[in-house]
Amino acid sequence: MADNANYNEKLPPNTESYWTNTIHLPEYPCLEDNMQVDVAIVGGGITGITSAYLLVNEGLKVAIIEADKLLNGTTGHTTAKITAQHDLIYEELIRYAGKDTARLYYEANTDALKFIQETVNKHQIDCDFTHQDAYVYTTTEEYARKLEKEAKAYEELHIEGKLVNKLPFDLEIYNALVMKNQAQFHPLKYLAHLTKIITEKGGYIFENTTAVNIETGEHPTVLTRGGARITAKYVLSCSHFPFYEGAGLYSTRMHADRSYIIAAKVKTAYPGGMYISADEPKRSLRYATINGEEMILISGESHKTGQGGETLKHYEALEAFGQQVFGIENIIYRWSAQDLTTLDKIPYIGEITSGQKNILIATGYRKWGMTNGTAAALLFRDTILGKKSKYQELYSPSRFNLNPSLKNFLTQNANVVSHLIKGKLEIPQNDIHNLSPDEGAVININGQRKGAYRDKEGTLHIVDTTCTHMGCEVAWNDGERSWDCPCHGSRFSYTGEVLEGPAEKPLQKYDYKMIDNLTSEDSGY
């Protein structure tokens, strides 16, 4: 494979998500005046939009506020598989939570799939919805045994599926477990149609409106960075990471993972179906029709945010896999995604903390947000309407399954402490004057750790590398040109602005002109 410099030169023209690049969404205003509604929804992804759609259909007054542009977050960067086959999950759920819980998880995600299909049919939404069989496969003997256990779990839970020993393309495997009749779609075409219905029925949508806190009480009030306030009977926190944690301490109960996607035109015809490897490194496949041509979305290379090393190597690895199995003619798009995983792999959906029944949260989808996000919206609707849901206890944010939650809690927080200490002790060796255009690095300026990026025009952008969330030291992400925190997954642009939480404040910026004019002797290198 080519080295990073050469790979950078041959990057596809579209380094944003295919989904966001191929649909024009209307622009919505920023919230400027105080308002009162029945339900205030923070976050304009699949959970927030589906929740608003459901609630306006019940006659409620609803407002969505989105910190950035609608559907520009995790929902806009998904692989958009609609399936209850979430890697290997059911044998593990049976083992630590019991058959009833495992079955409920399957039913909740299957109900979500059915809801999406029914909504597509009801409104005749042109969103490339197609039924596909889903496969989880392995290329190692170790995971072959795990797949056999997962197949037995399917039997116990009465899930339709079976083991097979080959795939319909040229990849040697030990075995694969298939779940029939799952689906895929273009998520933004689907959700754009729902936003139209929301506004037609009197719902409000605001963009570039950042929620910063909640005043609790009988009628909680969402406070925004611009000063406007929304008072409601219920507040739904549907942002990627909860903008308001209450007493939930969600940053200690989840970890952030990044993964990578390329959209490629290939030489070998794709046989249909959706595929994911059980073993590492992750490899996930599905097709999409782009400009009338069938392309393959190849994704994987998952790692904890800020802990993945040189980002471009992950794209190179996906390209090498695609080349080996299908023969790549051209890469049209490439992008990355981030999602959160809870201690027991089941999302947190429901009351943010006990005693605050009118503030609800949805987070921790573990990269399966199309079904889990829809399941969250359906649960929110039932809660607000006073209906009992059989899924309430399953997703309850206050749950704590001793095994595996305690073990994972200790492991994750030990990892945080390790990276916190490592970052403070690390002495950067990079020299600011050696940075080429479009290159970033951690540097040493007068004994202080700083982050530097020289843009394509040669201008330097200098930031403090201390994350504004809990003080860990961020790392440079060369693929996305961002500063990523290895502790809790916060991400910042090269100018220091927050891209993803839990951090709320930007990195401190420094005057690049003054620093760039320093000589090596002046700066003490």
Q: For residue 150, with 0-12 CB atoms within 10 Å meaning exposed, 13-18 middle and 19 or more buried, which class applies?
A: buried
- At residue 349, the 3 state secondary structure works out as strand
At residue 245 the predicted structure's pLDDT band, cuts being 50, 70 and 90, is confident
* Mean pLDDT value across residues 196-202: 97
Contacts of 517 (CB under 8 A, 6+ apart): none
- Token readout for 83 is 């399936």
Give me the chain's average pLDDT, please.
88
Peptide bond into 13 cis (omega under 30): no
Q: Please, are residues 336 and 260 in contact by the beta-carbon 8 Å criterion?
A: yes
In one letter, which amino acid is 116? I
How do residues 451-508 score in pLDDT, each as one tens digit? 888 888 888 899 988 888 878 888 888 878 888 888 877 889 889 888 877 888 889 8
Report pLDDT for 523: 36
Determine which of 124-128, 446-450, 496-500 has the lowest per-residue pLDDT on average: 446-450
- Token readout for 427 is 């002495």
The tokens 């794709």 sit on which residue? 270
User: Residue 521 above 50 pLDDT?
Assistant: no
How do residues 41-99 score in pLDDT, each as one tens digit? 999 999 999 999 999 999 999 999 999 999 988 898 999 999 999 999 999 999 999 99
Please state whether 269 falls in left (phi above 0), alpha (psi between -120 and 50) or beta. Answer: beta
Determine which of 25-29, 130-134, 346-350, 399-403 has the lowest per-residue pLDDT on average: 399-403
Give the domains, in start order, of the chain with CATH numbers.
26-78+188-252+345-402 (3.50.50.60), 256-337 (3.30.70), 424-518 (2.102.10.10)
How do residues 275-332 score in pLDDT, each as one tens digit? 999 999 999 999 999 888 999 999 999 878 767 677 789 999 999 999 999 999 999 9
Q: Please, are residues 38 and 232 in contact by the beta-carbon 8 Å criterion?
A: yes
Compute the distance between CA of residue 168 and CA of residue 348 in angstroms, rounded to an integer: 37
pTM of the model: 0.86
From the DSSP assignment, how many helices (H) and strands (E) are in the chain? Answer: 13, 25
User: Residue 361 above 60 pLDDT?
Assistant: yes
At residue 520 the predicted structure's pLDDT band, cuts being 50, 70 and 90, is very low
User: Residue 344 above 70 pLDDT?
Assistant: yes
User: Residue 406 above 80 pLDDT?
Assistant: no
User: Residue 257 above 90 pLDDT?
Assistant: no
Report pLDDT for 135: 98
At residue 244 the predicted structure's pLDDT band, cuts being 50, 70 and 90, is confident
In one letter, which amino acid is 499? L
Beta strand pairing call for 448-454 and 35-42: unpaired
Q: How large a percentage of the chain has pLDDT more than 70?
A: 88
Q: Please, are residues 49 and 191 in contact by the beta-carbon 8 Å criterion?
A: yes
Compute the distance between CA of residue 514 and CA of residue 134 in angstroms, rounded to an integer: 56
Q: Please, are residues 42 and 243 in contact by the beta-carbon 8 Å criterion?
A: yes
Angle, CA of 105, 108 and 114, to the nearest 5°: 140
Q: For residue 254, with 0-12 CB atoms within 10 Å meaning exposed, 13-18 middle and 19 or more buried, which class applies?
A: buried
Report pLDDT for 513: 59
Report pLDDT for 422: 57
Compute the distance between CA of residue 481 and CA of residue 496 in angstroms, rounded to an integer: 11
Report pLDDT for 355: 74
Compute the distance between CA of residue 71 and CA of residue 44 in angstroms, rounded to an integer: 6
Report pLDDT for 14: 62
- At residue 375, the 3 state secondary structure works out as helix
Report pLDDT for 396: 94
Nearest to 473 by CA among 460, 461, 490: 490
At residue 403 the predicted structure's pLDDT band, cuts being 50, 70 and 90, is low
